[in-house]
Chain A
């Protein structure tokens, strides 16, 4: 008899991440159903980016396990897309917007194989989706901050992943770009993709996202925005420092 329940998109069990002996993420359990648009919110130093990086194996886990669609990351790399913080790369790198977008396809190409006609077409299509088709051959350093963020998202779109992590895609972008990105995220959700976004603006959480995770080293709450994004939870996440002190000492 086939299993009728859809597999959980992201399943994190007992995750602890530490820099030296200082925990950054403490004993975290998180279950994200597929097809949701989820915000991760929490104060600075709450471990939001670290959570993503630990899930992708970019920082070592001190304890715990992470599964995507019921499998370890190594087996489903290509089903997971990642948009790092815009400031994490050198935008003076000698490459074009099209070339940057093509990098999203490197995973599918594997070692040594070079992108060909089909890959170029897909990259151009993704650039059209984010409205950057006219900038394809610009050097990436010539883009504005918002355009850079959109080119990063185009790079993630060509990956055609089932689950996306985005680390602060709304940081320092103007209102027009923010609206464009929100549209793209909602389009992804309508295609049954799961999108997990590190987010800073508490005012827009309810408008943009259907799920939310509140994090401050420990998990405070996670679930549909209507249930989890309560004043009490927000206060517990941002208000008191006691939780953080607990985790740190």
Chain B
């Protein structure tokens, strides 16, 4: 990962200066939004297929059980191999991937036993694996950076502070010798001891000692004022690299196997009959879900990461009937929610609407990941209400239009049936018309007003009559009733 970061920074330096890179990377808001956006994009992409395969809750299970993989891999790497792994170590990611796939396989085995069905099997397997992980964490890894908070909600702030240092110029280590002008050299008594030889005593022996001699890396040396050469440093948050690579991996997987994923998700039997390997795709998808969940672990935690897999795809599903568009909308909506969510957590929308100041004395410094999830849900609600085809408002308007159209036809049909008959004067009197429909007078008057406005009826001497277009409209409606289309 370190080498990859170097390549990226080198590339960026072609377009911009090291100062502006650092200004951006030092801004917790931008870094949190980048990381949150990458988590949302990678989760939102895979989530589309999880949603279509009715596997959303499997994500929930995997996001918990990867903890077991992480912990076991951590113990193996630290106590047996003597390494110091962190969450971006390949070993931990491998452990998590194995745990994720293991969860799915175990669940399927339990389901195949026929004794425990459906989601109960999932509910049986994943708390067990999670519980083992929690026991291992508390028993063996008192020094691991995994506490309850980070497991549940994570903290993007930690991800921001967790950086790799890249140095470009002035990177030489600074060696402080006693002769160096910055060396702090003092005389120290070598044979003094309390109750023994006193420093004032003539037997006391002094030597010169340097208290800050040694080798410093460039950044330390500059920070402590030991050198005049300011090193060119870039502090790169590790999560950006990890999540960036994971996002690219997910994008590549879906681009390459788009057709196969679509077929296997829609009709696994046909996929198998045609010789595609739906099982292979299924487990690859589960591995990617596990890897994505690990990458997102320290940023958003095991519980909230589920939202990044489920809410944006569910939102996209309300907005489109096309799989391709779902795959574009879902990560996009997730990333937007990450931006809005950060500002929600800091009560400072888009940097120019500081609504925290509206309530003086209120400090507003809440969990960023939780606020991002709330933002995703707000976007979902908006889509649910406003989606042009499937939205709540559109459906309401449609129903209202249908109701009005039907009322119009009922009234026009009644007039058509009676206007040339002898009882027309009773049947078509405006003040008693409502009795024939068993409607309220107000509702009837409303329909009549509408029909007059449309010039489908005229009212002369307290009698309603169809106009010529009105007759045509009423006849054509009766025609559609008969043909049933």
Chain B residues whose C-beta falls within 8 Å of the C-beta of A74 in the assembled complex: 275
* Contact A94–B260 (Cβ < 8 Å): no
Closest residue of A by beta carbon distance from B258: A114
Q: Is B266 located at the chain interface by the 8 A CB criterion?
A: yes
Closest residue of A by beta carbon distance from B321: A139
- Cα–Cα distance between A103 and B267 once the two chains are bound (Å): 10
* Contact A95–B269 (Cβ < 8 Å): no
Q: Which of B260, B272, B274 has most A Cβ within 10 Å? A: B274
Q: Which of A74, A95, A139 has most B Cβ within 10 Å? A: A95
* Contact B256–A112 (Cβ < 8 Å): yes
* Contact A57–B272 (Cβ < 8 Å): yes
Chain B residues whose C-beta falls within 8 Å of the C-beta of A139 in the assembled complex: 321
* Contact B269–A58 (Cβ < 8 Å): yes
The minimal Cβ–Cβ distance linking B112 to chain A, given in whole angstroms, is 10
Q: Is B216 located at the chain interface by the 8 A CB criterion?
A: no
The minimal Cβ–Cβ distance linking A227 to chain B, given in whole angstroms, is 31
Interface residues on A, range: 20 to 34
Produce 1/0 per residue, B191-202, CB < 8 A to A.
000000000000
Q: Is B257 located at the chain interface by the 8 A CB criterion?
A: yes
Q: Is B475 located at the chain interface by the 8 A CB criterion?
A: no
Interface residues on B, range: 20 to 34
- Cα–Cα distance between A115 and B258 once the two chains are bound (Å): 12
Within residues 260 to 276 of chain B, which ones have a CB less than 8 A from any CB in chain A? 260, 262-263, 265-267, 269-276
* Contact A96–B322 (Cβ < 8 Å): yes
Chain A residues whose C-beta falls within 8 Å of the C-beta of B351 in the assembled complex: none
- Cα–Cα distance between A141 and B317 once the two chains are bound (Å): 13
Given the interface pairs A84-B270, A107-B274, A112-B256, the reply to whether A96 lies near B263 with Cβ below 8 Å is no
Closest residue of A by beta carbon distance from B52: A93
The minimal Cβ–Cβ distance linking A120 to chain B, given in whole angstroms, is 14
Within residues 80 to 124 of chain A, which ones have a CB less than 8 A from any CB in chain B? 80, 82, 84, 88-90, 93-96, 99-100, 103, 106-107, 109, 111-115
Closest residue of B by beta carbon distance from A115: B259
* Contact A106–B263 (Cβ < 8 Å): yes
Residue in B114, B263, B273, B326 whose CB lies within 8 Å of A58:
B273
Residue in B257, B266, B272, B274 whose CB lies within 8 Å of A95:
B266
* Contact A53–B269 (Cβ < 8 Å): yes
Produce 1/0 per residue, A52-77, CB < 8 A to B.
01001110000000000000001001
Q: Is B320 located at the chain interface by the 8 A CB criterion?
A: yes
Chain B residues whose C-beta falls within 8 Å of the C-beta of A53 in the assembled complex: 269
Within residues 310 to 330 of chain B, which ones have a CB less than 8 A from any CB in chain A? 317, 320-323, 325-326
* Contact A103–B266 (Cβ < 8 Å): yes
* Contact A77–B273 (Cβ < 8 Å): yes
Closest residue of A by beta carbon distance from B262: A95
Q: Which of A20, A74, A106 has most B Cβ within 10 Å? A: A106
Residue in B256, B266, B273 whose CB lies within 8 Å of A56:
B273
Residue in B257, B258, B269, B323 whose CB lies within 8 Å of A94:
B323
The minimal Cβ–Cβ distance linking A231 to chain B, given in whole angstroms, is 35
Within residues 1 to 59 of chain A, which ones have a CB less than 8 A from any CB in chain B? 20, 53, 56-58
* Contact A96–B321 (Cβ < 8 Å): yes
Given the interface pairs A94-B317, A111-B260, A114-B259, the reply to whether A80 lies near B273 with Cβ below 8 Å is yes
Given the interface pairs A93-B52, A112-B256, A139-B321, the reply to whether A88 lies near B267 with Cβ below 8 Å is yes
* Contact B322–A84 (Cβ < 8 Å): no
Closest residue of A by beta carbon distance from B277: A111
* Contact A107–B275 (Cβ < 8 Å): yes
The minimal Cβ–Cβ distance linking B63 to chain A, given in whole angstroms, is 24
Residue in B114, B259, B326 whose CB lies within 8 Å of A109:
B259
Chain A residues whose C-beta falls within 8 Å of the C-beta of B260 in the assembled complex: 106, 111-112
Chain A residues whose C-beta falls within 8 Å of the C-beta of B267 in the assembled complex: 84, 88-89, 103
* Contact A94–B326 (Cβ < 8 Å): yes
- Cα–Cα distance between A159 and B422 once the two chains are bound (Å): 66
Chain A residues whose C-beta falls within 8 Å of the C-beta of B256 in the assembled complex: 112
* Contact A20–B114 (Cβ < 8 Å): yes
The minimal Cβ–Cβ distance linking A223 to chain B, given in whole angstroms, is 27
Q: Which of B263, B267, B273 has most A Cβ within 10 Å? A: B273
Given the interface pairs A94-B323, A95-B323, A112-B257, the reply to whether A82 lies near B273 with Cβ below 8 Å is yes
- Cα–Cα distance between A183 and B212 once the two chains are bound (Å): 95
- Cα–Cα distance between A185 and B21 once the two chains are bound (Å): 67
Within residues 157 to 182 of chain A, which ones have a CB less than 8 A from any CB in chain B? none
Residue in B258, B269, B323 whose CB lies within 8 Å of A88:
B269
Within residues 8 to 55 of chain B, which ones have a CB less than 8 A from any CB in chain A? 52, 54
Given the interface pairs A94-B321, A106-B263, A139-B321, the reply to whether A82 lies near B270 with Cβ below 8 Å is yes
Given the interface pairs A82-B269, A94-B321, the reply to whether A106 lies near B274 with Cβ below 8 Å is yes
- Cα–Cα distance between A113 and B265 once the two chains are bound (Å): 18
Within residues 210 to 241 of chain A, which ones have a CB less than 8 A from any CB in chain B? none
The minimal Cβ–Cβ distance linking B82 to chain A, given in whole angstroms, is 43
Chain B residues whose C-beta falls within 8 Å of the C-beta of A93 in the assembled complex: 52, 265-266, 323
Given the interface pairs A20-B114, A94-B52, A111-B276, the reply to whether A103 lies near B323 with Cβ below 8 Å is no
* Contact A103–B114 (Cβ < 8 Å): no
Closest residue of A by beta carbon distance from B113: A20
- Cα–Cα distance between A84 and B267 once the two chains are bound (Å): 9
Q: Which of A94, A96, A99, A112 has most B Cβ within 10 Å? A: A94
- Cα–Cα distance between A125 and B322 once the two chains are bound (Å): 22
* Contact B274–A58 (Cβ < 8 Å): no
Within residues 280 to 324 of chain B, which ones have a CB less than 8 A from any CB in chain A? 317, 320-323
Chain A residues whose C-beta falls within 8 Å of the C-beta of B270 in the assembled complex: 82, 84, 103
The minimal Cβ–Cβ distance linking B42 to chain A, given in whole angstroms, is 20
The minimal Cβ–Cβ distance linking B383 to chain A, given in whole angstroms, is 14
* Contact B321–A89 (Cβ < 8 Å): no
Produce 1/0 per residue, B239-270, CB < 8 A to A.
00000000000000000111110110111011
Which 3 residue pairs of A and B lie closest in terms of their CB atoms, listed nearest first?
Answer: A107-B274, A139-B321, A94-B323
Q: 14 pairs across A/B with beta carbons < 8 Å?
A: A57-B272, A58-B272, A82-B269, A84-B267, A90-B266, A95-B262, A95-B323, A96-B322, A106-B274, A111-B260, A112-B256, A112-B260, A115-B259, A141-B321
Given contacts A94-B322, A106-B271, A113-B259, 4 further A-B pairs with CB under 8 A are A56-B272, A95-B322, A100-B266, A114-B259
Interface residues of A (CB under 8 A from B): 20, 53, 56-58, 74, 77-78, 80, 82, 84, 88-90, 93-96, 99-100, 103, 106-107, 109, 111-115, 139, 141
